[in-house]
Every structure is written in C-alpha cells, then in structure tokens.
Structure 1
Amino acid sequence: MKGGKYLLLLAAFVLQARCQQDLQVTMSPPLNETFSGDLIYLTCNNIPSGSEVMWYLNGNQKVMQVDKTLKIPVADPVDSGTYHCESNGKKSNGVSIDVKENIPIATLKIKTGQPVMRPGESVVLQLDNDDGLQGWICRVYRGHETKRIVLRSKDNPKSLSFQSKDLNVQETIYWCTDSTQQRRSNQITVRTSGKHISLEMYPQPAIVGENLILKCYVWGTDKIRRVVFYKKGEMNDWKVIVESRSSTYKIPDVTESAKGQYKCNAIYTHVARTYGPSYNVTSDIQEVFVQTPNVKAVVSEKLGLSCSCPRCPSDVSYSYRWYYKKTDGQSWTWMDSNAAFMMPRESATYACSAVWNHGRSFLSNGYYYRPPIKVFMIILIVLLVLLCLAATAAYILWKRRNTSGPIYEDVGLRQRDRGDDKYEMLQKTRGDQKEAEYDTLNPEAPGRERKEGNYEPLKGGTKEVYHTLGAEEAAGGAREYEALKKEGMKEGEYHTLGMQGAAGGGREYEALRKEGMKEEEYHTLGMQGTAGGGREYEALRKEGMKEGVYHTLGMEGAAGGEV
C-alpha cells in the first residue's frame, strides 16, 4: 500500500512539472462574460523572458510580439474565438472568448476624481442598477492581482458609492457583479501620472458617431496661457492638431480614424507664484480607443418619444430606460420610465436604451425634444398677432372707403307749429364734415333763448343750396319773417344775414334778393343797430361780381340811429 501511494505521488509531481513547462494562456481580469468594450489581457505563461511569442486566433496568426501579454483594449464581437500562443516551437492550450454585442446591465462611473490621477490619490465610484443592488460586490484588478470590494447597503438601493484605495500602480480596473456573477457592470479604468499635467478623456472607449472631448488638465491651477494637443502619426511623429488658450479639444462625430495616441503641452502659472517664468509641461501619452455600437437603441418622435432596438436579441423580452440632460456638459440622468413610449414634460435632450435580463443596448443618440404645448403656445401667439394686424388693416381700409362720399348732402327739414316759434331744424348727416359744408345761424339777440326746432325752411329751387337767417329781434315783432327768396341760384352759393336789431323794429326785414349771381359768391350784412331803428335795412345789391369776392357791411350805430 505504501509503495503504491508513493508511486501515485511521484506521478503527480511529474505531471505538475510537465504542465509547468507547457505554455499556458490566462485571461485577466477574470470575467465570466465578456461584453463589447471590455479591456482584456491574454498572457502566455511559462516562456523565458525576452522570447518572441506568436498569437493565434482560431488557428490563424493574429500578431507576433516580444511581450508575452496580448492586449485587447476594446473587445468586439470580431475578437470572439479561441486563442493560443506559441514560443520556441511550443504551443499553449486554447482559451475561448465570446464577446457579446451588447453592454452589461449595470453602470459603473467615476463620481469624484479623474480618469488619470496622481499617485497616492483615490477616486469615488458610483454603481447604478435599476433593479437594485442587494448582494452585489465589486472587484478591482491591479498589479496582476484581483481583490474584492464589499458594498455595505440597506434594503435594495438602486445606487451605491464607494471609494477606492490609494492608486499606486499605473493602471487599475474596476467592475462589479451580483452574487451569481451572471449580471455585472461595465469596467472603469483609472490610470496614474506623476506629472502636474495630464490628458483626460472619458474613461470608457469613444463611440463611433458621438463626440469625444479631450482635456489638458493642470493640477492646482487654471491659469493656463496656451495649450497644444498632439497626435502620433503613422511615421511615429507627433503632429499638432490644435493650439489655443482653451484646455479642451472636441472631436465631433467620432470615426475609426480618431483612435491613436495623444498628448498635450501646457504653459501655465500658479496663483501663489508672483515671479519667475511660466511652467511648460507635456503630459504623459494616453491612448484613445474607439468602438462601434453593434446593438444600439433608436429614438423617434411622434407626438412624443418612442424607443426601439432593431438589432436587440429576438429571443428575450426587454424593457426600456430613458435618460435626459439639459446641457451638453451634463451627464445623463436616469428617468423613472420603462415604457417604449414617453411624453416628456420639459425641453431637454433625451436618449434611451433597451434592457433585458443580463444586458442592455448601447445608448441611443441624443434627441432634443420640445413639448408640443410650448410649441402650440408659440404658434397660437404668432397667429393672434397676425390676426390683430389683419383686423387693424381691414378696419383702416373700411374707414377710408366709408369716408369718401359726397361733400354735401340733402338736409332734412322738420316743421313745428307753435305760435311765433315757426322754425325748422336742419338735420345734419353723420360722418366727418369738411369746412364750409353747412352755414351756421348767428347767435340770437341777448335776452331771448333759442328753442329747438324754431326755424323756417329755406325756400330755394336748386338742390344743395343752403341759406341761413340771422337772429331775430329780441322782442317778438308783429310780423313774421320771410324766407330767403332765391331764383336761379347755382349749387354752392351761400348768403348770410347779419344780426338784426336787438329790439323789434316797426318794419319787416326783407330777404336778400340776388339775381345772376355766380357760384361761391358770398355777401354778409354788417351788424345792425342794437335797438330797433326807424329805418329798414336793405340787402346788398351787387351785379357782375366775380367768384370769391366778399363784401362786408360795417357795424351800424349802437342805438337805432339813421344811416
């Protein structure tokens, strides 16, 4: 029995020594599932230092390099397959990788800090999962070692934050999983640099079709005079891509050509420094990785916003998540909505993703949406203004058309029979009247009040000829007043009697007698004596007068004297 036991132990040691001599491929970080965008390292173990290594994917040569580690910076479905290495005529075992087209279900991001930190500092990370984080743990891969980070929480929160330990290695990778390791988050990579200046970018790979912002970050000051961004060319030479006072550089609508190595140079000073030259420092080299979103959601508008995912798996059921941001500089904020259709309540930029049990689609492009009620109110206000302008213009046009009638109109007469008050009222038409359209009766003598409708009709045979009687005696005379007698008068001739004596005289007043007068000849009697004189007043008699000639009698004696 003892001999057999020793033989078994000897066989195990021989097998172990033989295995140690064979080449072996290991993957780090150790992931149960690989998603699009993951950072993966494949290491060919058990080879002498400095030996050349040949890497194969599905039996085909992939790359030849001196370093024993193969880096896949941005995993893509085309990277799926079986990998093995070969060195000094020996081949390793095979390691299979299946890169999914979608991204993980949970989101891990930097809450406080930068993707490039100074040695000895730390960052605060935030984990988000809409289905809760009960039982979730995080892992950190640094210096070829993987350690666990315990998350302490109560109930089942949807968001948790934790702080990393001091960063003392060049690169540290974080990710989180649930208790079964079937559901996990994306990776976050934090790098270190001992310089006072660093080139910052989004910690995850740039997405084709979206924007990428690079920032030349100077620790401890913002007094930057000049910044130059460089990119490494195909001939390994550094080319200036932009030079300005701004510390940021935006690459719009990213394409595959954006990937590569970058660095920046800054000339700056510190606030506390009052003398001496400015600092002139160049950052460490940082690499920009670009990935193409294979499974991406799409936002469309129709009375609201709809989310769809044409390339999502057809054998799973999924819901939707909505996000929004009000400015370009803000990060996306999750909204409490799981439906494919949503009606936003405020103006903002919206995006969505499709979610199922173990994964989700890439975030859709941002879509700026303005609620219809605001658009409707703006349109309504514009229409009301246009209607007001149109109504005003129509009123002005109507006003002009209705004020362009004839200058003179027929005067209607109304007779009243009440003793001596036998006057008839001139009834004027409505509307604006031009100057000289109507004659006005002179004021009556003092002491006698005018009564409405106490005028006698003007007697004339010609249409639109107007005549006005002067005021009657203050005390009623024995005889009635006679109307003006006109014969052969033309249109537009006016005749006015001067004011009669204040006290009724013994004789009657005679009307103006005109014959052969031309159009628009005017004659006015002067004011008679205020007390009734013994003589009658005679009308002016003029013959052969021309158009527009006026004659006025002077004022008579104040007390009934003779002429």
Structure 2
Amino acid sequence: MKSLLTLSVFLVLIKEDNGEKPEVSRLPRFPQVYVGDDVTFICKGGSNPTKWIINGIEQPHQNHVMLLTTVTPHNNGQYECEQNGEKSVPVPLTVLVLEALAQLSPSVGGAVITKGEGRNLVLQVDDAEELHNWKCFALRGESGVKFNRIDVNKKLKRAVIFAELKEAERATFWCLNKNKTHRSNAVTLKMTDKLVMLEPPAAPALLGDSVALRCVAWGAEKVEKATFYKNQIEIPDITADTYNITATPEASGTYHCHATYRYSHISATAAEKEGDSDAQEIKVIDGPPAASITVSGHYLECSCPKCPDNCTSCYWYYTPFNDKYNRTRLPEDNPTIYLKEAGNYSCRMNCGKGFSRFSQHYRHKAQSGSGNVLPIILGLLLLVIGLLIVALVAKKQRKKRESNIQEANKDKTTGGDYEQLHLKDTAVYHTLGESTGKDKAEGEYEPLKKTKEETVYHTLGSGEGQSQGEGGYQGLESVKAEVYQTLSSEGQSQGEGGYQGLESVKAEVYQTLSSDASKNPEGEAGKAFEHLSQKAGEALTEEENPYEELKAEKQKKEPSKETE
C-alpha cells in the first residue's frame, strides 16, 4: 500500500515537470535600460526550438537566447517565449532615451580585441569620493560575474577595471553604485581570431556624430594600405588605415577592411603581409537629446530645447586639455557659468532617471590663471597712460623753456648797448669789428640798406673823454644823406668835436665812434655820451632833435676861433 502511494506521487511529479512553464530573464539586470545598450533575453525551463513573441507578434528567431544590440525605443514592449506549447510570463522592456549617470570607456582602442587579450576600462563618476562604493560586472554569454575589486585612483578621480573575454565571443561590462540605483553605460567588447581587425568605437553610433573605423593588424606598427568595404562593396578612394563616416541612417551597415602590412619593427626587410578583418555591424541610432552651449564673452550658457520637461537642472564639467579622463563636475548648477581655467567645458541636463547627452566641448584657450589677465591688462593700460602724461608734461615744459629763451633773446635784442631799429623798408646794420684806423672806428656801424628820405638816429656809445658831453645825441640826416664821422684820433686838424663829411649817397651809413684812444675837448674830460634806448622802430621828430642845438652852439664857437 505504501509503495503504491509513493509511485502515484512520482507519476504526478513527472507530469508536472513536463508541463512546467518557461521563464524569460533579461540580462544584464540593469535597473534602467538606456538607448544604445545591448540586451539579452534568455528563455529558461525548456529546450529548442523556442518561439519568441514580442507585443503578441511571433518572431522568426528560434534560439532560446535573443540578443538585441544597440536598443532604442523601437524595442520597447512585452517579451515572452514559448517552449513545448507553454508560454512564459511576459517581461517588459522600456528603453529610456537618456544617458547613464557614470561613464565607462576603453582607455585605448575600440570594441574589437583579439582572442586571449584584454583591455582597460575607465570609470568616471560625478562624485569621485564615492568611487569606492561602485561595483563592476561582466556578462559573458549567459554567465554574469562580479569583479572582486576595482582600482580607484583618487588623485586622477577615476577607477579602472581590466576587461577580458575569456572564452566568450562577446562580453558586456558595466558598473553599479552601492544602492544599485545608478549605473554606468554598458561597453560591449567582441572577440576576433584574425590578425587584421576593423575596430569600430565602443560607444554607439549616434545620429550626427563622426564615427572612425580603424583597420589595424595585430603586432604591426601600422597598416601600409587599407581597403574598406560596406555590405561587401568596396569604398573607393580610401587607402589610409582609418575611415571616417558621418552617422546618418544611410551609414548603417556591415563593414570590413583588407589590410597590407609588414612587421618592420622586427626586420627592415620583413615580408609584406595582407588579410581581411571580420565584419562589424554599424547601427546608427537617434540617441538622447544633446545639450548645447552658447558663448557670451567669458560666460557659457547651457540649454537643451529637445529635452523632456523634467530635465530641470544643469550639470557643468571641466576636463584638462591633456587628460580626457580627468573630468570634474563643477559646483555650479546654474545654466550660466563664468570661464576660469583653460581647458574643455561641457554640460548636460539632469532628467531624473538619466541625463541628456553631453554638449560639445567648448575649448577655452586662455592660459591658466586667466582670471588675472584683466588686472594685468588694466595695469599695462595705466602704465601707458602714465607714460603719455609724462611725455606730454615734458613736451609742455620743453615748449615753455623754448618760449622763455625766445623771450630772453627778444629782451636782449631790444635792450642792452644797441637798440634794434625797425625801419619802414628794413634797414640792416652790421657791426664792424674793432679798428685802429681812421676809416673804421671801434663799434661803428656800417649801413647796408636805407629807404629814401628817412632819418635814423643812433645812440652814441659812452666813452671816456668824449667831446659832446653827457646825454649828447648825434643827428644823422638822410635825403641824399650826409655821413659824419666823429674824429677821435689825437692831433686831428679840425680840433675838438669836429665832424668830417664823408659821402653823400642814397644809403646812409652811420658809424659810432667809441675808440678809447680819442681825446676829449678841454674842459669836458670825464664826460661821455649817454646811451639812450628807444623802442624798435621809434624815430625822433625835428622838434626833439638835440643835434640842432649842438650845431648852433658849434657855429657860435667857430667864428671865435677864426678871430683868434
């Protein structure tokens, strides 16, 4: 009886096992799925063939593993599988058209590596102090593993993991924070066993981006010549090792390359080699909306017109020119910031469960410490202004000195021993040098030019023992001018105070007698002619001419001499 009961229970268990429902699981187990991720669905509990139903529509795919590469909102829906007539519970997929909080990217190279090799992946997060709270994972085929540790570099504000494929043909790597609320983007690496590789970027090809496809040969320093193909059709006029395409819907397709290369670093006469790469699929997608930067002087403004309404705050980032992985989130969360250090500036919008795409980098080329440039410029400007003021003051003082010199020269010309006479038709007087002869006495003037019928009076210089006495004037007449010369030599026949007419010409010549050797008349010793100054151009009238009185007195004296 007991054996029959045991048999019946065993038969029931067998029947229930044959009727077990399949189960759909989604890998990786992301808290959120972002546009561009690779997602794998696995139908468990049964065997092939497997039917896949998406949003109620049966798919031609019959493998129990379904791989979706570079997912977009077009992949949204309910996923279920059917095995042995049994359907699984549907599993939803919702793709957010946003980017993840943290960034994971290869330090060098692209998405393809050779079998048995690995590649460093660099993790960057906004708060570098929290890097030690992040964990990283890998999905190789259907097996998921967690990295025991990640290498955190606090100085460089980043962490590094070494990604290996092991025996898998492809593997996906990503990182999560401690609370599993935020994650990085996912990086998928693909294995090849060929020496020639076509390396597409590890990041998805987003609409409008520039995508570089690089043809490389394992172990060779460079590829001497490369030929690229799209969908098995050669792309003409491309021989360099890199083919750059603009990500448009028409650019989607399958690419491979043919390379010619040498191991010249091993031997200068190394033989030429060539080979083909594996084909790589390039799928261009319309990614998250991108933020944009507007420049206004030293200010940057971040905006995102195509972002959803819940994208309310702005995050700013600074990256030095020489270190693209040393990206630092700035404390400012305003749409506008002031530029400081030289480097690359970018921004993105926070949209709750994710972020907009980063804006294009704005390269601020000012040197480090550019905040001090304005004071330096102002200082230089003030220095220049100061120099100009000094120069103007010096120029003004120089002009003042020149003016004083001119005034002094003018005073000297109009004053002193001789007075400059300004005549109507410009009479020019030339001072003759000292002479001991009778013809040219000391200090005498030689008339050069005289206008007609003009009387000029010249002040006789003072001299010891002169005959005319103090304050005397010598009248000089013109209109067919008579020239008188004062005789000052000792023993002259005319006697004291005599005058000798020299010549009558239209030009009048006056000579002032100033010889110290001339003798004065008796009774008039010690008397000298007084030097009288007069204004330039001023002439004495006949009424004021003292010469007439002197002449009258002379005429009175002369008859008396004749009588004697």
Given that 1:414 and 1:425 are in contact with CA atoms closer than 8 Å, whether structure 2 keeps it comes out as: no
CA spacing shift, 1:483–1:118, aligned 2, 3 Å: farther
Measured against aligned partners, the alpha-carbon deviations of 1:46-80 in whole angstroms (never above 9, x if no partner) come to: 7765x5x664321235x424555433211112311
Please point out which of 251, 254, 267 is paired with 2:245. Answer: 251
Aligned to 1:265: 258
The Cα of 1:16 is off from its aligned counterpart by: 2.5
Give distance in 2, aligned partners of 1:263 and 1:486. 122
Aligned to 2:212: 213
Mean alpha-carbon deviation: is it higher for 344-353 or for 190-199?
344-353
SS at match of 1:16: helix
Matches within 5 A, 1:447-486: 460=451
Mean alpha-carbon deviation: is it higher for 196-205 or for 438-447?
438-447
SS at match of 1:56: strand
CA spacing shift, 1:78–1:32, aligned 2, 3 Å: same
Matches within 5 A, 1:56-95: 56-61=53-58, 63-65=59-61, 67-85=63-81, 91-95=87-91
Asked if 1:163 is matched to 2:162, the reply is yes
Matches within 5 A, 1:82-481: 82-85=78-81, 91-112=87-108, 114-131=110-127, 132-151=130-149, 159-165=158-164, 167-232=166-231, 237-244=232-239, 246-252=240-246, 254-269=247-262, 270-275=264-269, 277-303=271-297, 304-310=299-305, 314=309, 318-324=313-319, 326=321, 330=324, 333-340=327-334, 341-346=336-341, 348-355=343-350, 358-369=353-364, 421-424=417-420, 444-445=432-433, 460=451
Measured against aligned partners, the alpha-carbon deviations of 1:271-322 in whole angstroms (never above 9, x if no partner) come to: 2223354222222212223221234333233451122345556558655142
The Cα of 1:209 is off from its aligned counterpart by: 2.0
The Cα of 1:247 is off from its aligned counterpart by: 2.2
Given that 1:101 and 1:294 are in contact with CA atoms closer than 8 Å, whether structure 2 keeps it comes out as: yes
SS at match of 1:104: coil
The Cα of 1:187 is off from its aligned counterpart by: 0.7
RMSD (Å) for aligned C-alpha atoms: 5.4
The Cα of 1:359 is off from its aligned counterpart by: 2.6
Measured against aligned partners, the alpha-carbon deviations of 1:507-549 in whole angstroms (never above 9, x if no partner) come to: 66658638xxxxxxxxxxxxxxxxxxxxxxxxxxxxxxxxxxx
The Cα of 1:33 is off from its aligned counterpart by: 2.6
Query: Which residue type is aligned with residue 92 of structure 2?
Result: S
Aligned to 1:395: none
Aligned length: 448
Larger RCO: 1 or 2 (CA < 8 Å, sep 6+) = 2
Query: Which residue type is aligned with residue 307 of structure 1?
Result: C
| TM-score, normalised relative to structure 1 | 0.63
The Cα of 1:140 is off from its aligned counterpart by: 0.8
The Cα of 1:203 is off from its aligned counterpart by: 0.4
CA spacing shift, 1:73–1:155, aligned 2, 3 Å: closer
Aligned to 2:398: none
Aligned to 2:515: none
| Percent identity of equivalent pairs | 23
Aligned to 1:396: none
Give distance in 1, aligned partners of 2:412 and 2:105. 98
Asked if 1:39 is matched to 2:35, the reply is no
The Cα of 1:153 is off from its aligned counterpart by: 7.1
Give distance in 1, aligned partners of 2:343 and 2:12. 70
Given that 1:116 and 1:199 are in contact with CA atoms closer than 8 Å, whether structure 2 keeps it comes out as: yes
The Cα of 1:149 is off from its aligned counterpart by: 0.7
The Cα of 1:181 is off from its aligned counterpart by: 2.4
CA spacing shift, 1:311–1:275, aligned 2, 3 Å: closer
The Cα of 1:195 is off from its aligned counterpart by: 2.6
Given that 2:153 and 2:159 are in contact with CA atoms closer than 8 Å, whether structure 1 keeps it comes out as: no
Measured against aligned partners, the alpha-carbon deviations of 1:167-189 in whole angstroms (never above 9, x if no partner) come to: 44321111111233222111111
**Any unmatched runs of 5+ in structure 2?**
386-409, 437-441, 481-488, 493-498, 508-564
CA spacing shift, 1:458–1:267, aligned 2, 3 Å: same
CA spacing shift, 1:274–1:486, aligned 2, 3 Å: farther
Query: Which residue type is aligned with residue 73 of structure 1?
Result: T
Measured against aligned partners, the alpha-carbon deviations of 1:318-371 in whole angstroms (never above 9, x if no partner) come to: 5514244648x9567334334222212245543212236643222123344567
Give distance in 1, aligned partners of 2:148 and 2:161. 9
CA spacing shift, 1:152–1:378, aligned 2, 3 Å: closer
SS at match of 2:215: strand
Given that 1:124 and 1:163 are in contact with CA atoms closer than 8 Å, whether structure 2 keeps it comes out as: yes
CA spacing shift, 1:222–1:486, aligned 2, 3 Å: farther
CA spacing shift, 1:99–1:154, aligned 2, 3 Å: closer
Give distance in 1, aligned partners of 2:251 and 2:479. 106
Mean alpha-carbon deviation: is it higher for 288-297 or for 199-208?
288-297
SS at match of 1:359: coil
Given that 2:112 and 2:199 are in contact with CA atoms closer than 8 Å, whether structure 1 keeps it comes out as: yes
Please point out which of 506, 509, 519 is paired with 1:513. Answer: 506
Measured against aligned partners, the alpha-carbon deviations of 1:105-139 in whole angstroms (never above 9, x if no partner) come to: 22212235543222222222222222313432211
CA spacing shift, 1:443–1:190, aligned 2, 3 Å: farther
The Cα of 1:417 is off from its aligned counterpart by: 7.9
Give distance in 2, aligned partners of 1:12 and 1:316. 54
The Cα of 1:39 is off from its aligned counterpart by: 0.2
Query: Which residue type is aligned with residue 199 of structure 2?
Result: E
**Any unmatched runs of 5+ in structure 1?**
388-411, 428-437, 463-468, 488-502, 515-563
Give distance in 1, aligned partners of 2:77 and 2:25. 14
Which structure has more helix as a fraction of its residues?
A: 2
Query: Which residue type is aligned with residue 108 of structure 1?
Result: L
Aligned to 1:553: none
CA spacing shift, 1:24–1:485, aligned 2, 3 Å: farther
Mean alpha-carbon deviation: is it higher for 37-46 or for 182-191?
37-46
CA spacing shift, 1:482–1:241, aligned 2, 3 Å: farther
The Cα of 1:194 is off from its aligned counterpart by: 2.4
Measured against aligned partners, the alpha-carbon deviations of 1:412-444 in whole angstroms (never above 9, x if no partner) come to: 9998687xx5441789xxxxxxxxxx9997684
